[in-house]
Chains A and B, each alone.
Chain A
Amino acid sequence: MSQWSYENAFVCARKVSESLSRFCPNFPRPVESIIDYVSDHLKVTRGKFIPINFHPRIYEARTFYGTIEDCENKVDIYYDLNRNRCWKRFIIVKELCQLLYSSSDDLHLSSSVEEIDSLLSQILAGIATTQAATSEHAAIVIAIEVLLPHSERQNVNKMIQNKGDAMTVAKHYLLPAQMVSYYLHNNYSDMADKAAKIDLSPRT
C-alpha cells in the first residue's frame, strides 16, 4: 500500500518549499538552487555524495518529456531540450522531486525489467490508479509547490485580481501555465490550505 496520498504530497511539498525559502527566498526560484538542495538531501539520506547528471537532448520528443534513472552511485536526468524555458524548469524540478521521497520510501521503486515494462504499459494505457502513477502525481504536486508555493497565493491572487490570468502568473514564476491552472483550482487550493495548517514542529 502506497503512503503517497495527495495529502502526504502536499505536506512533503510544504516541508521542501519552506526549507528552500530559507536560502532561496526570491522568485522565480533558480533551478540551480533546487538542485543544490536535492544534492544535500541525497547526501544526508544516502550517506554519501550522489552526483546528479543532467542530459538536455534533442530527440524528436512526442511522448516523453523527461526521464530519471536513479542508480546506487549516480542519478541521470534526461529531458527534451526543445521545450520552452518554463517546461524545462518544470520537468527538471519534477524529476528532482522524485528523489526527495524515493530515498525515504523504497516501497515504490520499480527497477526490474518487468516492473519498468509494466510501468510503461500503464503509462501508455493512461492508467492512473497504480502506485507508480500516484508517485508521479505526488512528484508533480511537489514540483508545483516548489516553483509556486502556497505561501505565494496572496501575491498570485493579486495578479489575478489585476486582470492577470494563468499565463501572467506562469511568466512571473516561470512554470507552465497548465500547472498554474492546477494551482488555481479550488480542490488544489483546499488541499494546500489543509497541509498549511498541519503542525510540522518536531514532537518532543
Chain B
Amino acid sequence: MAGKYLDITGVGIEFDTGGAKFRALQNVNLVLEQGEFVSLIGHSGCGKSTVLNIVAGLLHATEGGVALEGREVTEPGPDRAVVFQNHSLMPWLTVYENVALAVDQVFRRRKSRAERRAWIEHNLALVNMEHAMHKLPAEISGGMKQRVGIARCLAMQPKVLLMDEPFGALDALTRAQLQDSLMQIQAELGNTVIMITHDVDEAVLLSDRIVMMSNGPAATIGEILSVGLARPRDRLELAEDPEFVHLRQQVLAFLYAKHAPSGQARSATPRRLTVPQGNTRPMRTQHTLPDPRATAPCG
C-alpha cells in the first residue's frame, strides 16, 4: 500500500502546567509510506518525543490527529510498538519472559503455545540474544537490554515501529553495532520505522528521510531531507561518500545555522517549565549535539 500508510495531520498539543498553558507542538504534518525509515531530529525539548507519543497513542493531540492505514489512532496498541530509550524491561522477568509477555498478549488466539515459543526464540535470535534467554535484565549489559527491548517490539509485528532515542544511552561501539543490526533487520522485515535521534550520523546512516524539527515552544517540522543513499549501506564506505557528507552537512546547517539551540538564539522566549508528559525522564548525557539545557526533559 503505497501512499498514506501513516498520516500525521495538523497535530498540535498544549500542556497544562499548573494554570499556564504550554504549547509544545503546532501543526505537525507528516506522511509515511509503508516500509519507510524516518528519523526525527532536533534540539532537546523540541517535542520529538511528544510527536512519537502521540503516534503511539500515549498522549492525545489537542488538535489534529494520526491515522494508521486509514484508521484513527486513539489509544496505545501493539500495532505501534515503542522502543523506549532506557530499554524498559520488567526487571523481575527473564529476557525470554519479557518478550513472552508481549507475544502471549498479541498472539494469544492466533498462535499455539509451541508456535509462540518458537516465535519468541526467533525474535531473540534476530537480535542475537538467544544465548541469554533465561537471564534477568540486571545480569546483562545495557546494549543487550536494548536488543531485548527491540526484540520485544519486533515480536509484536507492529505496523509501525516507534523508537525513542533507542541507542542514546549506549557507548559508541555498542551503538554502531546495534545500528548495523537494526539496518539488517529492517532490510529483512521491511518495517515502517520512526526513530528519534540526537545523532546526525545515525540519522543519515539509517533513514530514508530525515525530519528536522524547529525549536519549541510551538515546535513544528522545519525541513524534510530525503536520503537517497543506496542500500545496503556500509558505515565505512559512507564516511567518505560525498553524498553522505553533503547530507550530513545539510542536517548540521539546519540545526546550527537556521535553528540554533534556543539558549543562544531565543534568549527572549519565556522561561521553559518542566512539561508533564507521558514518559518524561531526564535526558541521558550522550548527545552528539552540544546542548545548553542538557537536564531539560527530552521533548
Judge: A and B partners, yes or no: no
Residue numbers of A with Cβ under 8 A of B are none
